[in-house]
Structure formats: structure tokens, C-alpha cells
Amino acid sequence: MRIDAVTIFPEYLDPLRHALLGKAIEQGILAVGVHDLRHWATDVHKSVDDSPYGGGPGMVMKPEVWGPALDCVAAGTVAQNSDLQSSLPHLDKPRHDDVEGVEKHSYDGGEESDLPLLIVPTPAGTPFTQTDAQAWSNEEHIVFACGRYEGIDQRVIDDAAQRYRVREVSIGDYVLIGGEVAVLVITEAIVRLIPGVLGNRRSHEEDSFSDGLLEGPSYTKPRTWRGLDVPEVLFSGNHALVDQWRREQALARTQAVRPELLAHADLSDADRAFLDLHLDEHLDEQGE
């Protein structure tokens, strides 16, 4: 996979070189280019924004700068080499999430296309989800356009939509200063799903959201810590019992924290019976 990002703050995207993403770059699974939008500015001041038509606060990013920038990056014809190098040699270091003999597999749902996928992070976009991350983990080439200030002139997005596949996405219901942090978030969610990056297949099939539920709690040694005990069932050696307990913890946490997720979760009759019982107990505790 190749990922390019266009931004006025290239150093803000430096974390893409580290840890798991740096490892993917070293392994040749991932190439990342970060490009300074000002490279495509045409005036002496290298300006990339201007005041909004119709008045109002803030500045809007200029179409004559963004248009050529996206054309160039999407076509892979950038003059200067702006590919990131991994920050650290990782290849000789085994990681906790490397598991021998785990088969590589990719997710369904990628839209087969030669056109790059252009992702425009914006609080006005559709919510970014794990389903998007899975679909986009099959892409050949993703280009991110990071807007700042009051956004990018809408014609840049409308024009790009005629040539690329464009997605305007939000990472949550709050406002950030610009799209850079959203690029870090979305890239990490996508790249960890590329076969061979995380190594351990089970570790993402049990992720929160993969089955529509939040993950329950995890424990390691010591068995007692600051007077708190690890739940007894985890020492039973009974895998079926442990699996059932984990499922119930996931159901209970989802019901308590994100009950709206249950409507779309894949639930068995046993799950539903547990939730009914758990809800009753919950209400009893509240004296209702």
C-alpha cells in the first residue's frame, strides 16, 4: 500500500514513521509520502488560503494550490522525494504481537479500482468506522488532503470526485484544528489490518467493534495486586467457560457504555438471555 498526505505541517505527520507503521515501512508493506502544500503555492508569499466569499471569520484554502497538489500526488509525479524512512530498525526485534505460523488474510469489501482513494478529513464528513478501516486496508493507493482553518474550497473536492474516489470523513463529534491528527488516526486503523503488519490474526478478529461489541477487561500476573484479585474463572483451565465469561463481559460492558451498538451486534439467543438478565440485575441495583 502507498499512502500520501498533503499538509501545511509535514512534521505533524512524523509519527507515521514510528512503531508499527515504521515496521511496515521497513518490511516494504507500506510506503508513506508526506508533502508540503506550500510547494504548490504560486505567489511570493507562498499563500495557501484566502478570505471566504460571503464574508465570515477565518480563511479558506485556495483551489489553485490544492488542485495541482492533488493531481501531482495522485499521479505519483512529485518532484522531490518526500517518502518517510522508518525511525528505527525493527526487523531483528521480535514483537509481542508476532505469532509464528499465522496465515495472512485480507478483508473483503475493498473497492477494486485503479483510481486512488482520496480521503478528506473534516468534522463535516461521514463518521469513520472499523468497517471503513477494513475496506481501505485493501487499497493500493490512498491520498489524504489535510485542510486547516475553515476548510478547503468545496470545488477542490467536487473536481476531485470526477477523477478519484473521494471520501469526506470525520473521526468524531468534536472539532480539531486541522486534518493531520485524523490522518494519524485513520492510517493507524487501516495499516494494522494489512496482512503481515500485526502478525497475529486473532488479535484483530477479537478487536472491539469487529463483532459489534466492546472488548471486556484483560488481566496478567500477579494474581493479586494492591488487594485486587484476578477473576477466578480465568484460572479454571476450562476454555469454554473462559470464552463464555469473556463474551458476557463484552456484552455487559457494551450494554453499560454503548448500548446503541447492541442493535447492530451479531447476538445469539444465549447472548440475548444474558443481556435480559443483566439488565434486570442492573435495574434492581438502582432500586427500580
Q: Interface residues with ligand 6GU (CB under 6 A)?
A: 121-123, 170-172, 174-176, 178-179, 182
123 is catalytic: yes
Nearest-angstrom CA–CA distance, 144 and 186: 10
Q: Which of 64, 97, 150, 211 is catalytic?
A: 150
CB burial of residue 53 (10 Å; 0-12, 13-18, 19+): exposed
Which phi and psi angles does 112 have, rounded to 5°? -60, 120
- Can 207 be counted among the known catalytic residues? yes
| Residue 89: count of CB within 10 angstroms of its CB | 10
Residues annotated in a binding site: 147, 171-176
d(C-alpha 77, C-alpha 83), whole Å: 13
2 in active site: no
Residue (of 285, 208, 281, 278) closest to 250 by Cα position: 208
Nearer to ligand 6GU, 22 or 121 (CB): 121
Minimal distance in Å, beta carbon 121 to ligand 6GU? 3
30: left (phi over 0), alpha (psi -120 to 50) or beta: beta
What is the rounded distance in angstroms from the CA atom of residue 237 to the CA atom of residue 32? 45
Q: Supply the minimum distance, in Å, between the C-beta of residue 171 and ligand 6GU.
A: 4
163 catalytic, yes or no?
Answer: no
Nearest to ligand 6GU of 97, 168 (CB atom)? 168
Cα 4 versus chain centre, distance: 15
| Radius of gyration of the chain measured on its C-alpha atoms | 23
| Residue list for the binding site for S-adenosyl-L-methionine | 147, 171-176
Q: How far is the CB of 176 from ligand 6GU (least distance, A)?
A: 3
Return the DSSP state at 194.
S
26, 64, 168, 207: the active-site residue: 207
Q: Which residue is nearest to ligand 6GU (CB)?
A: 121
Closer CB to ligand 6GU, 22 or 151, in the complex:
151
Minimum distance of ligand 6GU from residue 169's CB (angstroms): 6
- Which CB, 116 or 179, lies closer to ligand 6GU? 179
Set 139, 153, 167, 192: catalytic member: 192
The residues annotated with a catalytic role in the active site are: 123, 150, 192, 207
